[in-house]
Each structure stands twice: as structure tokens, then as C-alpha cells.
Amino acid sequence: MAVTTQIEPRQVPSLGALINRHYSLVVSTISVLVFLALWQISADQGWINARYTSTPSAVARAALVIFRTDNFFYHAWVSLSEFGIGFALALVVSVPLGLVLGTSRSIRLFVEPPLMAMYTAPRLALLPILIVWLGIGMASKVAIVFLGAIFPIIVNTIAGVRDADPRLIQAARAFGATRLDIFTKILIPGCLPAILMGIRLGIGRGLLSVIVGEMFVSEAGIGYQIMTYGQGMQIDKLLVYAFVVSIFGYSLTLAVKLMEDHIRSWRPAS
């Protein structure tokens, strides 16, 4: 799946062969380039109003300005620490809780219904009340990130524990494993991919939460800047910040996905 060892052919492949092999990549690149060109040309020609859409060249210029002068790193640091703290708290609470709930049916029966209610409800709706409780500073954003990220991780951890291979547990028992052994040597390694998948979903939810939280009310951060530039109709600068968040979110989820694939690759397909 992830790692395919392939013997490279001796001769240099022709351009045609290269295009063939990376067909999707080539088409995707062309598609993005065409999109950017159309965007630029239609704004230059006045087919669309550049005031509302900006242009790729204006966005590139705005990016230079922002990275140099806009206190960019300060705002990025604020958002990153809100996200980091909220996510770390979510991780610390959700994984042990998920393991316990996955193992114990009686506790799960009581805790799961409210848990699923929170999981399915739009948690961003809690934002105004979190502001009332915690103020407009960083604490309310940490809380909304925490609430956004915690439920996917719990739910996936529970699913991971429950899907643990019963044959492995039986085999371990037959060889005299204690409850603790089964827990640390079978259940935890066994549900690691599921936990990572929960983390991957949680990253997306957490990032969305921090941006929405900052856009709603705040004093600093990427979301604050997005709202400021949006209200001032500076679409080019707004897009730069939106791209930064996208790239960050994409890299983070990709990293977790690669870890997931790596962990899955050494276990036999069930």
C-alpha cells in the first residue's frame, strides 16, 4: 500500500512514458494552472470584478507584504498556541477515556448517549456561551478547539478497541496473559490506527474551530486577521491567510495519514 519497492529501469524513461505514469498529477497541475490563468485574465479583462475576487498576482504580492510587515508571525503564533493547547488537552482526555469506554460495556452504556449527542451536534454553536464563560481571549478558543477535537478521537478509539481481534485476545489468554498484558500488548497497539484516524479528523475540526472562534470574537490570531480583512474588503490579504491555514492543515493531516499508513503496512490485512 504505502511502500512499494520497485526496481528502477536502467534507461531514462521518455517524456511520453513519464506523462503516462504520472497522468493524474499532470492533469491536476494543468487544471490548477488553467484555473489561475482564467482567474487572472478574467479579472484583468474586467469580466469579473477584481474587487470581489482579487487576482493571483495580487494575492502573491499581498503574501510578500504580509510575511514582511503584517505581524504575521505573532498572529500565527496566537492561533497555533490556541490550537496546540486545545488539541493537546483533547488528546490527553480522549485517548484514555476512549480506551476505558471501549473496554467496559457497563460504563459505555451510560456515557455513550450524551457522548454521541455531542458528537453529532454542531459544537460551534457553543461558541457564544464559551465566550460568556471564558471571555474573548485565548481561553475560549482553547475550549472550542478542545470540544471540536475530542469527540472524533474518543469515538474512533472506542471503535478501535471494540474491533480488536478476539482471536488474538483468546490466544494471549491461553498463554497466561493478565488483563494488563492484554491491554498494553494487544488493545493499545491494535487500536493505534483507529486512534490516528480520530486524530486526523480531530485536526480538521480543531483548526476549523480555532478559525471560527477567532473570527467570531477575538483580539488576535489568523481568524481575527481574516475577519478584519474581510470586513475591509481586502480579499487578497484574506486569501493569503486562508491559504496559510489550508497548507498547515493539509500538511498536518498528511503527516498523520502517512503515520497511519506506515503503522497499517506492517500488519496483515484482516
Q: Are 120 and 178 in contact (CB under 8 A)?
A: no
Residue 253's CB is within 10 A of a number of other CB atoms, namely 16
Instruction: Please tell me whether residue 56 binds other proteins under the rule CB under 8 A.
Output: no
* DSSP codes, 9-38: PSSPPPHHHHHHHTHHHHHHHHHHHHHHHH
Fill in the DSSP letter of residue 176. Answer: T
Instruction: Please tell me whether residue 59 binds other proteins under the rule CB under 8 A.
Output: no
In whole angstroms, what is the distance from residue 62 CA to residue 49 CA?
Answer: 18
* Candidate residues 114, 166, 176, 268; the one interacting with other proteins per rule CB under 8 A: 114
Cα–chain center distance at 107 = 29
* Candidate residues 147, 155, 187, 235; the one interacting with other proteins per rule CB under 8 A: 235
Instruction: Please tell me whether residue 113 binds other proteins under the rule CB under 8 A.
Output: yes
Please report how many Cα atoms fall inside a 13 Å half-sphere around the Cα of residue 218, on the Cβ side.
28
User: Smallest distance from the beta carbon of 71 to other proteins, in angstroms?
Assistant: 18
Instruction: Please tell me whether residue 170 binds other proteins under the rule CB under 8 A.
Output: no
Identity of the residue, 60 or 233, whose beta carbon is nearer to other proteins in the bound complex: 233
**Binding residues vs other proteins (CB under 8 A):** 23-28, 31-32, 35, 52, 109-114, 116-118, 120-122, 124-129, 131-133, 204, 207-208, 211-212, 215-216, 223, 226-227, 229-231, 233, 235, 238, 241-243, 245-247, 249-250, 253
